[in-house]
Amino acid sequence: MLHDAAHVWHPYTQHHQAPLPVPIVRAKGAWLYDANERPILDAISSWWVTTHGHCHDHIISAVTEQAKRLDQVIFAGFTHEPAAALAAELVQRLPRGLSKIFFSDDGSTAVEVAIKMSLQSFANRGAPRRLIAALDNAYHGDTFGAMAASGRGVFTQMYEPLLFEVARLPDPSVGDTIAALDALIAERGTELAAVIVEPLVLGASGMRVWDEQVLQDIRERTAAAGVHLIADEVLTGFGRTGPLFACERADVRPDLLCMSKGLTGGVLPLGATAATEDIFDAFRSADRAKTFFHGHSYTANPIACTAALASLELFDEESEDDRVRVEVAHARHLEALRGVKGVRAVRQIGTIAAVELEAPSGYLSDIGRELAAYALQEGVLLRPLGNVAYCLPPYCITDAELDLVYGVMHRFLGGARADALSSGGPVDD
């Protein structure tokens, strides 16, 4: 790992303080294996992406065969079966009415695409709207449009002077979002192009769960005002909240829906933005200036699209049973943690479980890196969001493996700590 220390700049890492990164050489199921073949239980799906488990045979086999036929081709003026088939499959599984799929590279770019589509669709129709509304404590990515829509905090404050105006609505887990939205529409409704939300759970700010009725009310207000609803399902998509998409829990159809992370089962990077026919039609014109001028070199990469298709094929009754099993196990463990000394609150939605610890709140809270270091010593990968520890595992995780994860939390809360803790260990994004 000498080359890593000499040349690699890692994400979300303070290199002045961080311990050396753990070299991982292989993975299978819910487990990672380091260079010494020490197993590490992946309790966070490697940044929320690994849905069915690492190196799933079905996905790996499909990717291997596709790589032998077609690795990459420009997607402007050309097409290929993996992308066309994936788009058709997504449309069948998405909330009804989302009929067009635009491919990109990751969650942040999927959000950028959605924001640009919304703004340009109004401009193309000769009635430009420039305002986007977003929730306090939201996180939508690290590119500039996504940062602008995200809540202000350690991730974005450095760049705030460069970010475009966004109207802020209260975090639905703590405030009256609908009253604020009503007031915004009354005051600036003719300027408002879109409201963007992480449906039902604000991820990076601490897995803050919010009510389905609020999402329904946001949809009702935006539809009545002719305002687009953008659902950022980068985290919540592909079964994390129960159904395939979180919007399904509330029976809500957004105008734009952003996907990534679990889209390929965690095998390859891929993003996608789903849009309604109405938004797509705003770009149909004899005027070439009304084209959607956005694209990426690896848009709809054939191998990544194949991985996504193979992953979708695994969302069957067995997968649903696994997700239910994980939900039940989470609920049992969280109930055991409720009221334990050092626990402020517990919360859950679907296969996402969170434990808020009694410690200074916020992303930079020291307790998060302390728990991460202790868990790693115990052979479990946890990367708390400051003082919020969460478990978001691959669906293949067994009940016994979940027992290991929660056992680490119990021992930590009972006073256990890592033998040697650096002054700046890992924290999550």
pLDDT per residue over 25-40, tens digit each? 999 999 999 999 999 9
Closest to 221 measured CA to CA, from 249, 189, 187, 198? 189
User: Is 297 annotated to bind ligand?
Assistant: yes
The catalytically annotated residue of 261, 298, 395, 406 is 261
Rounded Cα gap, residues 345 and 358, in angstroms: 9
pLDDT of residue 2: 79
Give the per-residue pLDDT at 425. 38
Question: 285 a known binding residue?
Answer: no
Q: Is 107 annotated as a binding residue?
A: yes
The predicted model scores a pTM of 0.96
139 is catalytic: yes
80 among the known binding-site residues?
A: no
Question: Annotated catalytic residue: which of 42, 136, 232, 255?
Answer: 232
* Rounded Cα gap, residues 176 and 214, in angstroms: 9
Output the pLDDT for position 428.
Answer: 43
Residue 57 a catalytic site member:
no
Please indicate whether residue 12 is annotated as part of the active site.
yes
Output the CA torsion 223→110→312→392 (10° steps): -90
- Integer Cα distance of 16 and 425 in angstroms: 11
- 100, 106, 139, 298: the catalytic one is 139
Calculate Rg over the CA atoms of the chain.
21
Q: Which domains does the chain have, with CATH numbers?
A: 1-55+316-414 (3.90.1150.10), 57-314 (3.40.640.10)
CA distances to 122, 196, 347, 348 from 118, rounded to whole Å, are 7, 11, 33, 32
Phi, psi of 266 (to 5 degrees): 90, 10
Q: Report d(CA 263, CA 237) in Å as an integer.
A: 8
- Phi/psi at 323 (nearest 5 deg)? -65, -40
The DSSP secondary structure of 175-194, one letter per residue, reads: S-HHHHHHHHHHHHTTTEEE
* Spans of the chain, pLDDT less than 50: 421-429
Is 261 part of any known ligand binding site?
A: yes
Distance from chain centroid for Cα 23: 25
| pLDDT score for 418 | 80
Is 390 assigned a ligand-binding role in the annotation?
no
Residue 237, marked binder:
no
| Residue 369 annotated in ligand binding | no
Please say if 232 is a catalytic residue: yes
pLDDT of residue 427: 40
